[in-house]
Chain A
Amino acid sequence: MPEMASSRAGDTFPRLLFYHGQVRGDKTAMREKHLGIWQSWTWSEVAEQVRALACGLAGMGFKRGDNLAIIGDNRPRLYMTMAAVQCLGGVPVPLYQDAVANEMLFVLQDAGIRFALVEDQEQVDKLLELKGQMPELEHLVYDDPRGMRHYNQPFIHDVEALMAMGRIHNQNHPDFLDGEVALGTCDDVSVMLYTSGTTGKPKGVCLTHKAFISAARGGIAFDGLTANEDILSYLPMAWVGDHLFSFAQAMVAGFAINCPESGETVMTDLREIGPTYYFAPPRVFENLLTQVMIRMEDASAIKQKMFHFFMAVARRSGAEILDGKPVAFSDRLLYLLGNFFVFGPLKNVLGLSRVRVAYTAGAAIGPDLFRFYRSIGINLKQLYGQTETCAYVCLQPDGQVKFDSVGKPAPGVEVKIADNGEILVKGPMLLKEYYKRPEATAESINADGYFMTGDAGLFDDEGHLKIIDRAKDVGKLSNGAMYAPNYIENKLKFFQYIKEAVVFGDRRDMVCAFINIDIGAVGNWAERRGIAYSGYADLASRQEVYGLIQECIEQVNAGLVGEGMLADSQIHRFLILHKELDPDDDELTRTRKVRRSFVAEKYAVLVDALYSGKTSQFIETQVRFEDGRTGKVAADLQIRDVKTYPVVRHAA
């Protein structure tokens, strides 16, 4: 990245933006597919639009220190709004766009939202529904005018009108915005991201320009990213990862972000864009692989043979070649051939041909899955971080990628392990505070300035951090053995047939599990065996499916028995739930993490049945449909015992 004129030039996002507008004004900054064609905006166009947005907001009365809610899919206009708000010294507050109105209420009230910019009619309707409970909401701006013709409330505005107003304002006061931008400092809060609320009410995490810019700079230097990268921006804007990759890093390095046409076209758009830098949670990589495998099973015999032959070569030597380790000459040759016939075309189909660096985080990734992508030559790595640390704590360095660790501390970050196993972090990327929650801020940052992550972990011999579980989730079985529920659940979820798992065992004498099957993978498995089924509940209750899941669990048990202190955590009994766990029913968070205690309470009868030795249990559950109506599903669930392996105790 070129040197900046003065030391202040690149220390806030608005200054970075206008800098790029000048030095690479004609380079593409953003793209979005609309009406089947990729539209693009150059850096100077983005700078102009941000100026218009900012002046328009100022004209409406938006002031320094105000918060502005942003709700919608990833769209250039919404990213521009973030920058516009920052220009005025305000704080953008992105919200999860698929949340129902009531879930948004807490955040909107907590952040004291007076201004909101939303994507479309759907989001406008949600805010109108809440308007009565949040009288402080003064202005509501929408991006997509579709269906908005009859909304004539005076406080609802079209973003185009807002920008037109802003352009006039800018003409009349040409120095206004530059003056506002000059007032900003790197210690101002640049964005407020709410935690997902796995534990209690969501908290607003205030992150400064300095925090995000140092995290972005660190990551860019670490992976040698340039202004020529292309990234697909498709993960929720309210999530810290998207903010780091699609906003902070793009602003710092000056590369292009690409917004998909709609949530459902992401796979097609991925292929068309061919990003060079890619981020996805493990479930996306898993879905991709599942699709490949399903299509391979339908391929001709020759293609299948070729695929399996070269995949065996890749498994043997692919990851080593990627890491630059020595590999037998014959394998190197075969890998080249494989690349021509199989891996190359495969990467092309996945849209990953141009990827130089790919990251995954947010949940543990299965070793087989991870190895698959690395073996076909995709430099997939893991990172570790939280909202409070700008998603920037540990990164896996090229050539030192291990499947079960999250890498080494990132540049500028100091990591240490507390006595109770909790991971502590210090560095410039830490949060400034939790919004209006000084007591929570004080609780999470200790006297020495370390942020307490709440995760339990340990360093291995080579200095790589290994995450075991949430520190508070780590419990004990009644015999005193350590019990790490997430660790076990992740092992279960590594099987393609298991979508979600919830295990129980804290202060109990054995570990038991709820399972959600993956309807795609198990459905396909059932089809091949000629098992007819009508839907999720029916498939989940099949004896054959129970048998399939039982085999998976027994494999997990076989693995656990060799893991010393976790050997007692083998799963003794399980059942397959009759419905999929769903954020709409509050069973998962919006980032799809299981809310274990809620599930335990909701399905208390089932938990009791697991521990009382019953072989089946009747349950009736309320479910909520997307439109907010509720219904009931009932089922008689069977419970199965699983084979466990004897624990060999070493004499102390």
Chain B
Amino acid sequence: MSGRKIGEVILDLQNISLRFGGVKALTNISFDVREHEVRAIIGPNGAGKSSMLNVINGVYHPQEGRINFRGEERRKMEPHMAAMQGIARTFQNIALFKGMTVLDNVMTGRITKMKANFLEQAIRIGRAGREEVEHRKKVEEVIDFLEIQHIRKTPVGRLPYGLQKRVELARALAAEPSMLLLDEPMAGMNVEEKQDMCRFILDVNDQFGTTIVLIEHDMGVVMDISDRVVVLDYGKKIGDGTPDEVRNNQEVIAAYLGVAH
């Protein structure tokens, strides 16, 4: 039923290796992400999934390998540069401002789009006022999209976990990203919350054409919503392909279910 068209490769990772001292987090990993697709990274605990996301948005700098984003070879990159290029993300252990309201938290997602300088914003003169109205409008659209109107003015710290996750997604969406990195968006949720989250992820992908890279533990969820899946184990890639291909991959089965020695 989907009308979106999966396009060209926009992110290409070649032979990525990442070490922390003597610990090899990622070893010689290559995979790509196509425009408009939902790409999942799965693997057992400690497989290197979050490290992979951190490499993509520039938190970690791999010692080896090449990253090509939208045709540009990327050298050293900092997270804010990734944000400027249209990559937004959410975190495994929710990173919101707990004392601030949902609205203010989502507003911070617009930071890269704000042009008024600090002084203008502080005393709200000139373009700062106009900009705020525009940003607020965009933020309200996101709030409407994720159906969180009822908690608009609630401090984030008072919200249950499932809703906080949704607020984090809202903040990422407020940046109007072309690529969205989601780190375990459904961890710790009940069945109903998971279903809602799946629906939102698919809606974002469908309505805005946002490319989505997600890490997830819940295999059922991954297999249902992803176009392609890459499987990591102990920092190595052991599978890559459509959900069906991955499901039938012997190495993947062994990594997940264990293997008789």
Nearest-Cβ distance from residue A43 to partner chain B, whole angstroms: 27
- B208-228 CB contact bits vs A (8 Å, 1 = yes)? 000000000000000000000
List of B residues within 8 angstroms of A528 by Cβ: none
Whether a CB of chain A sits under 8 angstroms from the CB of B249 is no
Residue of B140, B192, B206 touching A36 (CB-CB under 8 A):
B140
A615 surroundings in chain B (CB, below 8 A): none
Q: Which of B78-86, B92-100, B145-153, B178-186 contacts A (4 or more CB under 8 A)?
A: B145-153
The segment from A102-110, A259-267, A549-557, A563-571 that touches chain B is: A259-267
Contacts of B141 in A (CB 8 A): 35
Q: A35-B140, A36-B143, A626-B192 are in contact. Are A264 and B203 (CB under 8 A)?
A: no
In the assembled complex, the Cα of A141 lies from the Cα of B74 at a distance in Å of: 49
Closest Cβ of chain B to A269, distance in Å, is: 9
Tell me if A295 is interfacial: C-beta within 8 Å of chain B.
no
Could you mark each residue 261-279 of chain A with 1 if its beta carbon is under 8 Å from any beta carbon of chain B, else 0? 1101100100000000000
Q: Is B45 interfacial (CB-CB < 8 Å)?
A: no
Known: A261-B149, A262-B147. A625 touches B203 (CB 8 A): no
**Residue A147, interface by CB 8 Å:** yes
B2 within 8 A of A: yes
A627 at the interface (CB under 8 A from B): yes
**A650 contacts partner chain B, Cβ-Cβ < 8 Å:** no
C-alpha gap A235/B161 in the complex (Å): 29
Chain B residues whose CB sits within 8 angstroms of the CB of A262 once the complex forms: 147, 149-150
Q: Are A268 and B150 in contact (CB under 8 A)?
A: yes
- Set of chain B residues within 8 Å of A529, measured between Cβ atoms: none
Q: Give the contacts of B1-26 with A (CB-CB under 8 A).
A: 1-3
CB-based contact A625/B150 at 8 Å: no
Do B149 and A264 have beta carbons less than 8 Å apart?
yes
Nearest chain B CB to A348's CB is how many angstroms away? 16
B147:A149 contact, CB within 8 angstroms: no
B191 at the interface (CB under 8 A from A): yes
Q: Among the interface residues A36, A150, A268, A627, which one has the most CB atoms of the partner chain B within 10 A?
A: A36
- Contact residue among B2, B143, B195 (Cβ-Cβ distance under 8 Å from A150): B2
- Alpha-carbon separation in the docked complex, A579 to B229 (Å): 40
Q: Specify the chain B residue showing the minimal Cβ separation from A267.
A: B150
CA distance A198 to B177 in the complex (A): 51
- Residues from chain B with a CB closer than 8 A to the CB of A626 are 192
A264 contacts B150, C-beta separation under 8 Å: yes
A residues in contact with B140, CB < 8 Å: 35-37
Check: B137 CB closer than 8 A to any chain A CB.
yes
B207 in contact (CB, < 8 A): yes
Give every chain B residue within 8 A of A627 (Cβ-Cβ).
192, 195
Closest chain-A Cβ to B133's Cβ sits at a distance in Å of 11
User: Is the beta-carbon distance between A265 and B203 smaller than 8 angstroms?
Assistant: no
**Given A35-B141, A35-B144, A149-B3 contact (CB < 8 Å):** yes
Query: Are A36 and B149 in contact (CB-based, < 8 A)?
Result: yes
B144, B147, B195, B206: which has the most chain A beta carbons within 10 Å?
B144
CB distance from A39 to the nearest CB of B (A): 12
Which single member of A150, A261, A264, A268 contacts B3 (CB below 8 Å)? Answer: A150
**Would you call B150 and A149 a contact (CB within 8 A)?**
no
Which of B1, B136, B145, B149 counts the most chain A CB atoms within 10 A? B149
CA distance A35 to B145 in the complex (A): 10
Contact with B along A566-582 (1 / 0, CB 8 A): 00000000000000000
Which chain A residues in 17-72 approach chain B with CB under 8 Å? 34-37
Residues 157-179 of B, flagged 1 when their CB comes within 8 A of A and 0 if not, give 00000000000000000000000
Within the assembled complex, what's the spacing in Å between the Cα atoms of A625 and B207?
Answer: 28
A146 to B200, CA, bound (A): 12
* Shortest distance from the beta carbon of A142 to any chain B beta carbon, whole Å: 16
Distance of A520 from chain B, by nearest CB (Å): 15
- Which bucket holds chain A's interface residue count? 10 to 19
Residue contact A625 to B192, C-beta cutoff 8 Å: yes
Q: Which residues of A contact B206 (CB under 8 A)?
A: 149-150
Most central of B144, B150, B203 by chain A CB within 10 Å: B150
* Alpha-carbon gap, A37 to B143, bound state (A): 13
CB contact under 8 A between A35 and B137, given known A625-B191, A627-B192, A627-B195: yes
Shortest Cβ distance from B110 into chain A, in angstroms? 15
Q: Mark A540-551, 1 if CB is under 8 A from B, else 0.
A: 000000000000
- Name the B residues within 8 Å of A150 (CB-CB): 1-3, 206
Q: How far is the CA of A627 from the CA of B140 in the complex (A)?
A: 28
Please report the C-alpha to C-alpha distance between residue A268 and residue B192 in the assembled complex, in whole angstroms: 25
Query: Once bound together, how far apart are the Cα atoms of A101 and B157, in whole Å?
Result: 37
**Distance (whole angstroms) from the CB of A625 to the closest CB of chain B:** 7
Question: B2, B3, B150: which contacts A265 (Cβ < 8 A)?
Answer: B150
Q: How far is the CA of A625 from the CA of B1 in the complex (A)?
A: 26
Residue of A nearest to B138 (CB): A35
Interface flags, A136-171, vs B, CB<8A=1, else 0: 000000000011011000000000000000000000
Cβ contacts under 8 Å, B136 to chain A: 36
User: A150 vs B3: C-alpha distance in the bound complex, in angstroms?
Assistant: 7
Closest A residue to B2 using CB positions:
A150
Expressed in whole angstroms, the Cα–Cα distance for A113 and B203 within the complex equals: 31
For residue B151, which residue of chain A has the nearest CB? A264
CA distance A111 to B48 in the complex (A): 59
The answer to whether A265 touches B192 (Cβ under 8 A) is no
Residues of chain B within 8 A of A625, CB atoms compared: 191-192
**Beyond A35-B144, A626-B192, A627-B192, is A147–B149 a contact (Cβ under 8 Å)?**
no
The chain B residue sitting closest to A627, CB to CB, is B195
Min C-beta distance of B255 to chain A, whole Å? 30
Partner of B207, one of A149, A264, A268: A149
Which residues of the partner chain A approach B150 to less than 8 Å between Cβ atoms? 262, 264-265, 268
> Which residues of B have CB within 8 Å of A34?
144
Please give, as numbers and ranges, the residues of chain A lying within 8 Å of B147 by CB-CB distance: 262
Of all chain A residues, the one with the shortest Cβ separation from B136 is A36
Choose from A146, A149, A265 the contact partner of B149 (Cβ within 8 Å): A265
Residues of A within 8 A of B203 (CB): 147
| Minimum distance in angstroms from A386 CB to a CB of chain B | 33
Residues of chain A contacted by B1 (CB below 8 angstroms)? 150
Q: What is the bound-complex CA distance between A36 and B152, given in angstroms?
A: 9
- A residues near B207, Cβ cutoff 8 Å: 146-147, 149
Min Cβ gap A262→B in Å is 5
Contacts of B145 in A (CB 8 A): 146
B residues less than 8 Å from A261 (CB atoms): 149
Q: Mark A439-482, 1 if CB is under 8 A from B, else 0.
A: 00000000000000000000000000000000000000000000
Question: Closest CB-CB distance, B207 to chain A, in whole Å?
Answer: 7
Nearest residue (CB) in A for B150 is: A264
A37 and B2 CA atoms in complex are apart in Å by 32
Known: A146-B145, A149-B3, A149-B206. 6 other contacts (CB 8 A): A35-B140, A35-B141, A150-B2, A150-B3, A265-B149, A268-B153
Q: 11 A-B contacts, Cβ less than 8 Å apart?
A: A36-B140, A149-B206, A149-B207, A150-B1, A150-B206, A262-B147, A262-B150, A264-B149, A268-B150, A625-B192, A627-B192
Q: List 7 A-B pairs, minimum CB-CB distance, nearest first.
A: A264-B150, A35-B140, A36-B140, A265-B150, A261-B149, A150-B1, A265-B149
- Seen from chain B, the residues whose Cβ lies within 8 Å of a Cβ on chain A are 1-3, 136-137, 140-141, 143-145, 147, 149-150, 152-153, 191-192, 195, 203, 206-207
- What is A's interface to B at a CB cutoff of 8 Å? 34-37, 146-147, 149-150, 261-262, 264-265, 268, 625-627
